[in-house]
Homo-oligomer: A and B are copies of this chain.
């Protein structure tokens, strides 16, 4: 073999999947470099935000996965840019949120501009771009390419060993997808075979550019997930039964990112500007002095095709800027730098199925498209795979039965439908004529817009998402933990460590690592009446003797030390039980002596590391600033306490009380979800 050939082979096997690619048969002749076969648990098609989010989950949970993308570049400019509160919470659970939060532009205000009776533009409303207190995050704007880099970095540090690292394989397109339906129900089977095509590729070898490929590879995967965008090859390949249902639209949007030179006073705030007769515009300030302008072009562009309809291909940045100038007049708008622009036309549609036989799944734009006005696309797409990831992870690790997978379609399709319904109502408000500031009939529509915005925040922020009851989400009895709603994410409250008084965001105590959290809110366990303490310890005994005896030995790798600032020791084996038990009491921290007072399930002991000090917390005053965190109050928990089981994705699976009669409820919940 020539050394050139050797180099190429070496280069090539690295380009595809390290350690997993094996020759299908003994190589013969020139064919030998071309046909290989491999297997992995999960094959992800598409490396945008939803594909990368899934890869990150699987990397954290130690599942073998591959992620392929037809694009040549890792990072591309423009496109999605809005990060809502829940998305930031989710990213934060992987240690990625803080990078977006630091670099992103944090929007504070939303303004409406409207022509007055004389047609002169004026600010008619200015208010907060959030509902106070719903999250520790608020809307933040950052270029999608940065996010993709952060996710890629996080995937890389998640690998336990370099050979396990999941890296995006670029310039790879899927060509065939088959499901062996006879093997679908066997958790150990790899029924989802497919072929992929490496495409023609320029390779540098020994100083020369050489064109290589195409080459094909048979990948046998347990699961395939199509995160391949609005024109999803995966969805189309699943056949005619897989449809996008909803309305198409003739609205064309122009969008451009510029560093504006303008005397418009609210250029650094999120704005909607209604002009008298030149259309409407949204202003979204972002990082690096940039501002994104969204303009609906229908009424302002002269680019029409032979049928008199607007022709998207004829639109240029000049058209967009020219429309923007008219809308913003009499304020001036110029620019020297621009970053990116586009013109697009998007229907409001949802896929009728989000999975096939719970072996092939669809996520993100592949199953929902809608307008960009509420900045939902990237957020909802990542939340799809955030919902799917831990389920696939537990099933592939043989910790949970395949039956939990059907909750993906149920939970996320319902959510996508809500999004479309919201978007339809919301969009209309922007395409209407300008509301008028003065009192009177047209003024109502401004009030309506404001109302929609405020109502919409719970939805658009992602905080309002509530999944319906299912195997993994059990409806709660009334009156226990009234602000912990099964199917919703557990609110973000502050708790204090019993041992060292450090304040913790509750969310930081539950990084995304595939574990269920059993939060025992015990009430006051330091009063002279010892009933609460006895109840707490009896429950501790049940958790240890029954739940942990059955399920406690199911282990996962601990997440990288994302937020615990001190919890992990380098010598730690870093294998953790799938059940994580946390006691949060409301008694007197100075009085409680955990080693004497509470059941050992709340203070795990390791013979090399000693006691684990991160399982007992208290609802208390912050010792350094004197402010009480009021965690019980913010969770709606009274003196009798509550048990709150949180799913690995932070959504509440079960709420019950600490009484003995509830043990069967707890046991039943885990019996359905985990493999004994």
Contacts and interface: CB of A to CB of B under 8 A. Distances in A.
A104 interface: yes
A566 B288 contact: yes
Given A263-B595, A623-B108, A624-B138, A569 B337 contact: yes
A566 B128 contact: no
A104 B502 CA distance: 12
A336 B606 CA distance: 11
A573 interface: no
Contact of A108 (B102, B261, B502, B608): B502
A109 B623 contact: yes
A262 interface: yes
A624 B132 CA distance: 6
B565 A104 contact: yes
A259 B103 contact: no
Interface in A242-282: 259-263, 265, 267-269
Interface string A108-139: 11000000000000000010111011000010
A567 interface: yes
A610 B570 contact: no
Given A105-B565, A261-B608, 8 more contacts: A105-B566, A109-B623, A259-B569, A259-B571, A259-B610, A262-B610, A265-B593, A268-B500
B500 A260 contact: no
A309 interface: no
A287 B566 contact: yes
A606 to B, nearest CB: 9
25 contacts: A102-B565, A105-B565, A105-B566, A108-B500, A108-B501, A108-B623, A108-B624, A109-B500, A109-B501, A109-B623, A128-B624, A132-B624, A133-B625, A263-B595, A265-B499, A265-B594, A265-B595, A267-B499, A268-B497, A268-B500, A269-B501, A287-B565, A289-B566, A290-B569, A336-B571
A565 B609 contact: no
B607 A336 contact: yes
Interface in A595-613: 595, 607-611, 613
Given A132-B625, A500-B269, A609 B103 contact: no
Contacts of A500: 107-109, 268-269, 285
Determine which residue in A260, A267, A289, A336 has the highest number of CB atoms from chain B within 10 A of its CB, and name it: A289
Nearest to A104: B565
Contacts of A129: 624
Contacts of A312: none
Given A287-B566, A500-B269, A571-B259, A609 B336 contact: yes
A interface, by DSSP: helix, strand, loop or mixed? Answer: loop
Nearest to A95: B102
A618 to B, nearest CB: 13
A74 B497 CA distance: 35
A319 to B, nearest CB: 22
Interface in A546-600: 565-572, 590, 593-595
Interface in A156-200: none
Contacts of A607: 261, 336
A106 interface: yes
A467 to B, nearest CB: 27
A626 interface: yes
A209 to B, nearest CB: 25
Interface in A307-341: 334-337
A641 B423 CA distance: 49
Given A501-B108, A569-B288, A128 B623 contact: yes
Given A286-B566, A289-B609, A595-B263, A499 B132 contact: no
A453 to B, nearest CB: 15
Interface in A478-498: 497
Nearest to A139: B624
Contacts of A263: 595
Contacts of A287: 565-566
Contacts of A497: 268
Contacts of A568: 288-289
Contact of A608 (B269, B337, B569): B337
A28 to B, nearest CB: 36
Given A287-B566, A289-B566, A608 B336 contact: yes
Nearest to A590: B126
Contacts of A105: 565-566
Nearest to A339: B570
Interface string A281-308: 0000111111000000000000000000
A260 B286 CA distance: 48
A499 B566 contact: no
A203 to B, nearest CB: 26
